[in-house]
Amino acid sequence: MKTKIITLVLALGFFSSLMSQNQYGWVEFTDKKDCSFDPFTYFDARAIERRVLGGIPLSDSTDFPLNSNYVSRIGLLADSVMGYSRWFNALFVSATPTQVAEITQLPFVKAFVPWTTSTYMAESKSSSSDDNIYADLQFKQVNSLGGFAFDSAGIHGKGIRIAVFDGGFPSVDKHSAFKHIRDNNRIIKTWDFTSNKEYVYSYQMHGTSVLSCIAGMYEGKPVGLATEAEFLLARTEVVPEPFSEEKNWAMAAEWADKNGAQIINSSLGYTADRYFPSQMDGKFTYVTRAAQMAFRKGMLVVNAAGNEGTDQWKIIGAPADADSVLSIGGIDPESGYHTGFSSYGPTADKRMKPNVCAYGHVVAADKSAMHFTQGTSFASPLVAGFAACALQTKPGFTNKQLFEAIQKSASLYPYFDYAHGYGVPQASWFLNEKKTPETNNAFSVQITGPELHIKATEIYPEAEAQKNYLYFHFQDNNGFIQRYGVIQVFQENAFDLYDISQYKGMTFRAHYHGQTIEMLVK
């Protein structure tokens, strides 16, 4: 009997402990009754310009402040109020289950959305002291995007405002890689959303490396393309506080909107510790919804696809799953195609991701010098810098037009797959307004009965082996790719399939030497 009593006491104590544990989440309000808003005092002039260009209302209810009476009432009931969102008319709180029950009974509370999550920064590091290797990769990572063409045309992202969300920016205030930015006062604003202060020049080095891949310089040469852009730096991530990071991302997006950002780079993602792959559908997560709202406000959101390609998770994370986010995969500079760690598409609802790709192995700044590092974290800022340069060439483009143009500019377009998207964006498209194939008869495709045969009429020598890749896929009538692959071509008889009957009725596409061939499998 004594044992039973002790067990009961322990069980009750455990239950009491569970009941007292705080919950984190968004308290969503029903309305913004009695809230006033003046866009001309709230928004930076650049934000107003962006909205006017995109035909976006200057005074939308999602921009209005929260009802102060509602905020005060929640503040009295919850343990703490940790943040807010105008866009979602919500407060982020920490509260006990009892407090949550009281809060949800209030007539102006629409819902309590519980929150638990952790984030990844899509990076793994390596280093070397060989300056010649540095210079070689530095040159390649920029010029793989056609950076030399932008440079020759004097295009370096001048006048374009980029917001960067990360875990900190140590030494950006003194590192030589950013001297050109500091000297011209092009860090417009900073904010640490983890501790509510302006200082961001400490903490995790990841953000320093990311920023260098957008706009850094090393020994007088660019590390990223947008060396004349201006910046909003937001610290949103902190390792010991997993509950707040998506909240910080959403708040940073509103801050970026308010302060006139045209492009957001987010080398961050939210996956396995909170979500299931089936929830990567572009709708489920709060951070994805925040990214979609940022796009609705006229900003281009560029986000790393993630580094789960070799993990059980495999696919892209949030917010890269949003249809309006330009999701960036990684390629290997040595092979020229998908690097193993780069997360794959499609989304859970079968939409194509990633959208485009760039080098996932780069030279980047660390706290005091330069280093080799890898991850889609660095492919993303390379494309964000590219986007700034592209926008400089097309100042009248809306974010939607820019998004579509970047895809069309890519090296594989109109071919696509779930490893590369449309390929690597190319500067020449924005300077010439077209992309011409290297040849119109580089290869041929023949489908006879159940057999498919591809012949190459042009094969580069071994020294240029990267140019000899043939990409192919079979796409069903619902737009889903059933099979895709990359073949290195060594001979005229490039590729043969002897039974494609399972793909009957599908579209076959192949891309080789800048040429795409499309055929229906009958």
Residues 278, 218, single domain; the answer is yes
Domain boundary among 80, 114, 148: 114
Question: What CATH number corresponds to the domain at position 510?
Answer: 2.60.40
Classified as helix, coil or strand, 56 is coil
454 forms beta bridges with: 445, 495
Residues 39, 107, single domain; the answer is yes
User: Do the domain assignments include residue 183?
Assistant: no
Residues 378, 512, single domain; the answer is no
User: Do the domain assignments include residue 283?
Assistant: yes
Question: What CATH number corresponds to the domain at position 306?
Answer: 3.40.50.200
Q: What is the pLDDT of residue 379?
A: 98
User: Do the domain assignments include residue 244?
Assistant: no
User: Do the domain assignments include residue 191?
Assistant: no
Are 357 and 379 within 8 A, CB to CB?
A: yes
Q: Dmax over Cα atoms in the chain, in whole Å?
A: 88
User: Do the domain assignments include residue 11?
Assistant: no
Q: What is the pLDDT of residue 459?
A: 84
Q: What is the pLDDT of residue 381?
A: 98
Q: What is the pLDDT of residue 272?
A: 63
Domain boundary among 114, 129, 147: 114
Residues 53, 110, single domain; the answer is yes
Please state the φ and ψ torsions of residue 92, each to the nearest 5 degrees: -100, 125
Residues 359, 481, single domain; the answer is no
Residues 452, 310, single domain; the answer is no
User: Do the domain assignments include residue 157?
Assistant: yes
- What domain range is 465 assigned to? 443-520
What CA–CA distances, in Å, run from 267 to 39, 122, 241, 299?
30, 6, 18, 16
User: Do the domain assignments include residue 511?
Assistant: yes
Q: What is the pLDDT of residue 253?
A: 98
| Cis before 170? omega within 30 | no
Residues 208, 353, single domain; the answer is yes
Q: What is the pLDDT of residue 13?
A: 38
Tell me the pLDDT tens digit for each residue of 354-368. Answer: 999 999 999 999 999
Q: What is the pLDDT of residue 458?
A: 86
Q: Per the structure, how many domains does the chain have?
A: 3
Domain boundary among 114, 140, 175: 114
Residue 49 class from Cβ within 10 Å (0-12 exposed, 13-18 middle, 19+ buried)?
middle
Residues 366, 461, single domain; the answer is no
Residues 99, 124, single domain; the answer is no
Q: What is the pLDDT of residue 435?
A: 62
Residues 126, 107, single domain; the answer is no
Residues 147, 289, single domain; the answer is yes
**R_g over Cα of the chain:** 25
Residues 321, 449, single domain; the answer is no
Q: What is the pLDDT of residue 463?
A: 60
Which residues of the chain, if any, have pLDDT below 70? 1-20, 116-132, 239-244, 272-273, 433-439, 462-463, 465
User: Do the domain assignments include residue 172?
Assistant: no
Please state whether the predicted TM-score (pTM) of the whole model is above 0.75.
Answer: yes
Which of these, 275, 277, 438, lies nearest to 347 by C-alpha position? Answer: 277
Tell me the pLDDT tens digit for each residue of 456-489. Answer: 998 877 667 677 899 999 999 999 999 999 999 9
What CA–CA distances, in Å, run from 96 to 85, 103, 109, 116?
21, 10, 17, 14
